[in-house]
Structure 1
């Protein structure tokens, strides 16, 4: 049987934040942003909430019907990413929003003012984000720890990639670990050739997918 997927809305906010927090709090990138475990447990949820609010306002959020997996996407036009995207404090923090006025600094101020890494990762991902072609950007994907390995994440991504293929759209993401990098490669994404190496931290793999005929 297929995986039932629907579009999440504001009523799903608290459930989705809990899912993002549970699934990603020990991810290598989250662990780098919040290196002290106790502080990460307290603060990671706020960052996930900020990202979700941006996606609900400016992108779209797909969730499995049973609430076990979720994906945050943006439709990014060609050209400077700030054009037409707005510049309020929450939106400006998104890695999809490179043109907004000092967005990473605003996100840091809203989520964890004393943590420079919240700002640094935003600036680094902005700097590598492709601008030459319109694409669908997978910002975050999360599967509940008790449900991983069931193909739920693959189903969420494939649903959007099928639309990309129909509409001739490209897709982009940054894989945060080698396991997800390999999964995305099986879905047709190609490593763009240069990792984003976080200072004294793990690599991220920018990956691009052209539409399939």
Structure 2
């Protein structure tokens, strides 16, 4: 388990990487995006440690990948509910309403793709000054290897079109492109079969 100091360090690093993402911009309207997003990532790290998978890379909070994986349904539900309670306070009324609406929209788009038992790469980010040196590939390699050993499909959703080539190099392919009305932005669903 990470310490609070380590979570804060990785939260800040990932927040730097994702601060321009339309999803996070839309939910972090109650204050500075980087500040709120850093705590948002910390809460996701806690949830990942309790009921998913967390991989870290580099020194001083350079990068983190947070996965939702199949497992104890009650444990997952408890961890998710605890994060939701914290998010409702952190994001404020409008930010949390945006969060709920975006998640509802994205879940509706995801439902026809039959990924309920797949591994979900929920959050992945590498601090900008640590990018372009292979750290992102190393960061994802551990989770992808674990998904391969489990024979599991994995998927992710990204609002960043520039990230598509990176994820393709990790074996993901675009399964669909959607427009998300709260953010006013397009995003891509990408899937990866095991052993790719």
- Fold match by TM threshold 0.5: yes
State the secondary structure of the residue aligned to 1:142: strand
Q: Confirm whether residue 112 of structure 1 aligns to residue 102 of structure 2.
A: no
- Indicate the structure whose relative CO is greater, using CA pairs within 8 Å and at least 6 residues apart: 2
Q: Confirm whether residue 91 of structure 1 aligns to residue 75 of structure 2.
A: no
Q: Is the 8 A contact 1:107 1:119 kept in 2?
A: no
Q: 2:117 aligns with which of 134, 137, 155?
A: 134
**Distance (Å, rounded) in 2 between the aligned partners of 1:131 and 1:69:** 29
Q: Which segment is superposed worse, 140-149 or 187-196?
A: 187-196
Q: 2:170 aligns with which of 187, 191, 208?
A: 187
Q: 1:168 aligns with which of 151, 155, 161?
A: 151
Do the aligned partners of residues 13 and 35 (structure 1) sit closer, same or farther apart at CA in structure 2, a change above 3 Å counting?
A: closer
Do the aligned partners of residues 41 and 194 (structure 1) sit closer, same or farther apart at CA in structure 2, a change above 3 Å counting?
A: closer
| Cα displacement (A) at 1:42 | 4.1
Give the structure with the larger helix fraction.
2
| Structure 2: stretches of 5+ with no match in the other structure | none
Residue-pair matches, total: 189
Match of 2:69 in 1: 75
Q: Confirm whether residue 57 of structure 1 aligns to residue 50 of structure 2.
A: yes
Q: 1:122 aligns with which of 99, 103, 106?
A: 103
| Cα displacement (A) at 1:35 | 5.3
TM, length-normalised to structure 1: 0.75
TM, length-normalised to structure 2: 0.80
Q: Deviations over 1:10-47 (max 9, x none)?
A: 222222122122222222322233358x5424422332
Match of 1:10 in 2: 2
| Structure 1: stretches of 5+ with no match in the other structure | 1-8, 95-102
**Distance (Å, rounded) in 1 between the aligned partners of 2:86 and 2:122:** 15
Match of 1:43 in 2: 36
Do the aligned partners of residues 126 and 150 (structure 1) sit closer, same or farther apart at CA in structure 2, a change above 3 Å counting?
A: same
| Cα displacement (A) at 1:196 | 4.6
State the secondary structure of the residue aligned to 2:56: strand
| Cα displacement (A) at 1:119 | 1.8
State the secondary structure of the residue aligned to 1:126: helix
Root-mean-square deviation (CA, aligned residues, Å) is 2.7
Q: Is the 8 A contact 1:93 1:122 kept in 2?
A: no
